[in-house]
Structure 1
Amino acid sequence: MTLDTLIPSRHKLSTKIVGALVGFLALALCAIGVTLYLSWQLEGSAAAINDTGSLRMSSYRLAILLSQTGEGDAANDAPRQASAGQQMAQIDATLAQLRLGDPQRPLFLPPTGAILGEFERINTDWQRELRPAARALAAGQGVGDGALQRYLARTDRFAGRVNALVQLIERDSETRTFWLRASQLALLALALVGTVSLIYLMFSLIIEPVTRLHEGLHRMKDKDFEVRLAVDSVDEFGQLAQGFNQMADRLQALYGNLADLVQTKTAALEHQNRELALLYDSAAFLQRPQPVEPLCQGFLQRISDYFHADGGSVRVLDTGRDNLHMVVHHGLSPRLVEREHCMKVGDCLCGEAVQKKVTVIHDLRKLDKGYELECHREGFATVSVFHIYAHQQHLGFFNLHFRSARVLDAREQGLLETLGQLLGTAIENLRLGAREREMAVSEERNLVAQGLHDSIAQGLNFLNLQVQMLEQSVGDGKLGDVEEIVPALRAGVQESYEDVRELLHNFRSRLVEGNLVGALETAVDKFRRQTGIAAELVADVDGAPFPREQQLQLLFIVQEALSNVRKHAGASRVLVRLEDKHDFLLSIEDNGVGFDPALVEGRGDSHVGIHIMRERAQRIEATLAVTSSPGAGSTIALTLPQERRRAA
């Protein structure tokens, strides 16, 4: 029988214990029931003795009342007759109650033949003899002819029978009292026997098996693996003893082979540590910023050293042309590299593996046409192909070449597939980095193009018109017009020069240690000195810091707004307000001539200044609002709510 064998219900320990307890409970309930029944009957017999005895007193009292009737005046006979009637009714009620019984009091006659027969005779005497005679005497009939003496004699006989019935009931009560005491003694004996039996049952079923198990565990603790427990039952303890014996057998076998097991586990642990070291070293190496060739070369060198490969290569897939380009190689001859530096998907064994996108380990000796392959001619016996993936995208594969036959188990294949994913992630990161740099260059060029905004273009257009007018005036010999045009040209050139200098200055602006308020103070102070316009910065900074790139965008927005004020507003006062709490608020207000925002919006990209500020605000996920009207100044407000703010 094994540990998982089901135990029959009749052999279960719970069944035995519950059965014994239920049996003893049934016996106890029977004994208690008998005791309660006998006590109840004794209480009923005692009440019957009292009521039966009252019949004697009632019969004698009735006789006395009947003997006094007719001896006095008629006025006193009426109450006596009424009392006699009450006594007769009481005797009738007592006999009826004895015959019917009353379980609630309790009251009833013992159900024996002698008692019931005697009661029927008493009831018959009363109904047929005493009661009619008493009624006649109470009515005053037959008093003078010896009826009273006959009634008194019958009353004596009636009382004698009642006394005999009382004695029968008393003897029956004595018998029942004996049985009551006997049942109580039996209940006491049952309690003693039950207690002893339960103690024996607990010892035999629970305590003794537990003691044997404890002794066995103590001996096993002392490295006595020869200990075995006797299986002498089929209950839970029997299964537990069998399980203990199986455990002892296992421990004895393990302890005997402990040295070999420790050596095996140690070797497995060392192998796992080497795998983890390779994964950690490869992951750390692939995270370094470096070109793709050194990246793949270092990766290939690490896995070749770990798996003791005689050669290997890393190839990248060109999905547009279905070409597999060899990036780096190791241990391959120049002839093999020259022939396979670029192969098509589906060519040779490696190309077929790429086409099917499955990991392949080729034993070239077992292939039908293995002798025709370049790898086999180079002396390699085993070639493995593992794919390079990044985000479910197939990027290429890498090879490991072995000159002797090599079998890679499932764990080694899983390790190489994981390394292929790490390499794929690193290559994809290089590609993403290159694309990000391209996007940064493109955005910077876009900023430069946007920086050449409308004022420079308009200035050059103005200069072009003035040059044409100058050329025409010189040709016509109008020196007066020339004298007017030359100062305008000089002023236009100077204004364009200042615009270009301001644009270059804005592109060269940098934050000192990410201090946005300090950079804004520098920009406002420079604006004040260069233009002579009263400019003020009010900053209330209590929020989380912004990333450096976002702070630069905010600085550029302020510089662009101040440049617009200088060139277009004609203002005498400028206020830059910064509220950095939960939400970020930045505003630039001036008291200049103002403008109509609807007209500016209708011009579209021709008014590049506001367009540039809007684009910069969108890059930091903020909103830019322009409020102005002719003659009432302008306000540019930038808002960044807390839920869209990104803390540094």
Structure 2
Amino acid sequence: MRHRPTLSAKLLAMGTAFLLVALASIGFTLWVTWKLEGGAAAVNEAGRLRMNMLRMVLAQQNDSPVEEFNRLAQRFEGSLELLRTGDPSRPLFVPWSDATREHYAAIVQEWRAIRSQWHAQPPSREEALARGDTFVTELDGFVEAIEVQIARWTAGLHLFQLMMVALAIAAAVAFMALSYLLVLNPVMRLQQALARVQSGDLSTRLAVEADDEFGQLTAGFNRMAHALQASHQDLERKVREKTASVEVQNQRLAALYEVSALASEASSLEALTQGFVQQVRRVAVADAAAVRWSDEANERYVLLAADGLPPSMVEKEHCVVAGSCECGQTEARAQTRVIPILPATDMQLPHCREAGFQTVVSIPVRLHQRLMGEVTLFFRRPVSLAQDTRELLESMARHLASSMEGLRATALEREAAVSGERGLIARELHDSIAQSLAFLKIQVQLLQGAVARGNGAARDAAIAELDTGVRECYADVRELLVHFRTRTQDEDIEGALRATLSKFEHQTGVATQLAMHGQGRPLAPDVQIQVLHIVQEALSNVRKHAGARRVQLRVQRHPRWRFEVRDDGGGFDPAAVPPDSLHVGLGIMRERAERIQATLTLDSSAGRPGTRVTLELPPTPVEGAAAAATPLTASS
């Protein structure tokens, strides 16, 4: 590799040479221009001499005062001195040559002669004019000599400018040639090599011909291409490994997703376990699969579902006692195991060997440290579980345990809901129809006594009471049907309240009024149901006990929901009602209010007309936070 000056040194040398030439040409041009400006100023000053001479001639002809002549003479001598010495600041100077010096000396001599003559004896007008013309002619020669020098400098400047144009063209050509040789050609080589690398040819290399910057770039490109080639090969290897790993992970995720989908779609334990054994058999590539459920004491395993097992084996192993076989594990030994079936082994349950299976894989089904069952895989070949396969099967078993527990919890929830609804119906019947039937039973007994005694008046009174009781019982049944069928179809409860008041007014003839105040967030559907039932129970109490002529329902939406039922009927003493009594539905109303964490207030007193039932719901989280952030102020 040849040692050459670096590219930076070459470019610096070229730039320095171009700079020096440019500075020299600019300096020479400025110097010539300065000379030309000084010569032009000298021509102007010579013209001022001509003007002053003419003024002095006129002054002599017009017999002007001596002072005026002296002032013009002093100005004339000042111009002569300025031409002799020059003024660099203007600039002004005479481009001296032999001709200009000769004419200047003649002008000075002529002026001295004129000044001496005019001071000694003033000339006549004709003599002064003739002498002035002679002097002006000499001045014209001086100016022509200056202009000749200026013309020479101008011609030289034009020639220099032409030379600079030629030099600029030559420099541009030289610069382009050097740029191509020093910069463009190496860059093109690098670009071509990069294009080959970009097209996939990672074996591309460039010859390092110099040790300048481009030589360093070329060596760096070769190192980069080598690193890219090695990295690409390593990346391809890693991609192949990662692709295989991703495929395995995708298979595991697909299997877990299918188990999750099965858990969400299965409506019963049989459907869940039967779908699970099919999926786990396909994932494990097993010849058969089974799911067994263990009782709470882990004493026996009951076969819930099987796929691929012979019918005889399903029948014989329908219920396996824990510990009687390798695959029926006790809770203390429950873990994932690979069990080989050896021909010479004495087994208590030899059904697997008789069916031709050589390997059994047992996976416990656990949830929260509780053994719920076991997943068993059967193979007609020797099998060893890899770690990822073991983890996948255990994850599927955990999903199965969660799904089984979910089905159990759903069944318990349904049972609790049915039990709660039955309790609610029982309380409703006890509070309304049971009391009415008890009243009817008493009236029947009174009727029987009146008939036995032959008391017609008592008999008719008992029949009238029976008729009234039957009507009230019928009204209670209809009201219960309305309670149980009540549903809210809209987000706003106002429509359901208006419908409830309309039904009450139609059944009782009591005037009703609904007043809604403020704007608030809509109530949840389950809360709306409880609120409607409480309002209906309050209206039922008004119908049964108040004897009111007008009922008003006031609803406040903001800052929290508040429902107030007012009537103008007879009041009563709430303290006289036992806490466990269901009279006038107070127990049911309080229970419904507790379900939605609301506050139920009863305002009434014996002997005072009117009763007010107030239901106030708790604030929503947003309203509660706003109330907590608002400072309390004392009221007087």
Normalised-by-shorter TM-score class? 0.5 to 0.7
2-structure distance, mates of 1:329, 1:349: 18
2:311 match? 334
1-structure distance, mates of 2:527, 2:489: 14
Aligned residue runs from structure 1 range 431-580, under 5 A: 431-540=408-517, 542-580=519-557
1:178 match? none
Deviation at 1:641, TM superposition (A): 2.2
1-structure distance, mates of 2:622, 2:414: 25
2:375 match? 398
SS at the partner of 2:327?
helix
2-structure distance, mates of 1:279, 1:608: 56
Change (3 A) 1:345 1:433: same
Matched, 1:607 2:583: yes
Matched, 1:314 2:291: yes
Partner amino acid for 2:273? C
Q: Is the 8 A contact 1:546 1:646 kept in 2?
A: no
**Once structures 1 and 2 are overlaid, which stretch shifts more, 553-562 or 388-397?**
388-397
SS at the partner of 1:287?
helix
Change (3 A) 1:603 1:269: closer
Change (3 A) 1:390 1:537: farther
1:622 match? 598
2-structure distance, mates of 1:624, 1:638: 5
The C-alpha deviation readout for 1:93-150, integer Å capped at 9, x for no partner, is xxxxxxxxxxxxxxxxxxxxxxxxxxxxxxxxxxxxxxxxxxxxxxxxxxxxxxxxxx
Deviation at 1:223, TM superposition (A): 4.1
Deviation at 1:469, TM superposition (A): 1.8
**Once structures 1 and 2 are overlaid, which stretch shifts more, 568-577 or 476-485?**
476-485
Q: Is the 8 A contact 2:443 2:462 kept in 1?
A: yes
1:325 match? 302
Deviation at 1:397, TM superposition (A): 1.6
1-structure distance, mates of 2:538, 2:593: 13
Partner amino acid for 2:242? K
Aligned residue runs from structure 1 range 61-460, under 5 A: 223=202, 261-320=238-297, 322-352=299-329, 354-365=331-342, 368-369=345-346, 373-460=350-437
Deviation at 1:525, TM superposition (A): 1.1
Deviation at 1:552, TM superposition (A): 0.9
2:214 match? none
2-structure distance, mates of 1:646, 1:513: 23
Change (3 A) 1:399 1:535: same
The C-alpha deviation readout for 1:572-616, integer Å capped at 9, x for no partner, is 22111111234221111112211111111x252342611111111
Give the gaps of 5 or more residues in structure 1: 1-217, 228-243
Partner amino acid for 1:505? V
1-structure distance, mates of 2:381, 2:503: 76
2-structure distance, mates of 1:365, 1:556: 70
Q: Is the 8 A contact 2:541 2:584 kept in 1?
A: no
1-structure distance, mates of 2:226, 2:490: 72
2-structure distance, mates of 1:645, 1:449: 38
Change (3 A) 1:371 1:586: closer
SS at the partner of 2:329?
helix
Deviation at 1:546, TM superposition (A): 2.5
Partner amino acid for 1:618? E
1-structure distance, mates of 2:518, 2:412: 36
1-structure distance, mates of 2:293, 2:324: 15
Change (3 A) 1:442 1:420: same
2-structure distance, mates of 1:582, 1:366: 80
2-structure distance, mates of 1:272, 1:521: 59
Change (3 A) 1:374 1:251: farther
Q: Is the 8 A contact 1:454 1:609 kept in 2?
A: yes
Partner amino acid for 1:297? Q
Partner amino acid for 2:393? L
SS at the partner of 1:348?
coil
1-structure distance, mates of 2:521, 2:344: 67
Partner amino acid for 1:493? V
1-structure distance, mates of 2:339, 2:298: 26
1-structure distance, mates of 2:591, 2:476: 21
What TM-score, normalized by structure 1, do the two folds share?
0.59
Partner amino acid for 1:339? K
Give the gaps of 5 or more residues in structure 2: 1-193, 207-221, 625-636
Deviation at 1:225, TM superposition (A): 11
2-structure distance, mates of 1:427, 1:250: 56
Change (3 A) 1:461 1:269: closer
* Runs of 4+ off more than 6 Å: 218-222, 247-254, 644-647
Change (3 A) 1:536 1:392: farther
Deviation at 1:368, TM superposition (A): 4.9
Deviation at 1:522, TM superposition (A): 0.3
Change (3 A) 1:626 1:501: same
Partner amino acid for 2:521? A
Change (3 A) 1:410 1:367: farther
Q: Is the 8 A contact 1:354 1:397 kept in 2?
A: no
2-structure distance, mates of 1:621, 1:383: 56
Partner amino acid for 2:501? V
2-structure distance, mates of 1:567, 1:394: 57
The C-alpha deviation readout for 1:365-399, integer Å capped at 9, x for no partner, is 39954696321221111211112233443321211
2-structure distance, mates of 1:501, 1:416: 58
Change (3 A) 1:570 1:223: same
Q: Is the 8 A contact 2:582 2:588 kept in 1?
A: no
Change (3 A) 1:573 1:256: closer
Q: How many residues align?
A: 417
Change (3 A) 1:645 1:521: farther
Matched, 1:597 2:581: no
Deviation at 1:258, TM superposition (A): 6.3
Q: Is the 8 A contact 1:591 1:634 kept in 2?
A: yes
1-structure distance, mates of 2:301, 2:384: 26
2-structure distance, mates of 1:645, 1:322: 53
Partner amino acid for 2:602? V
Change (3 A) 1:554 1:271: same
Deviation at 1:644, TM superposition (A): 6.3
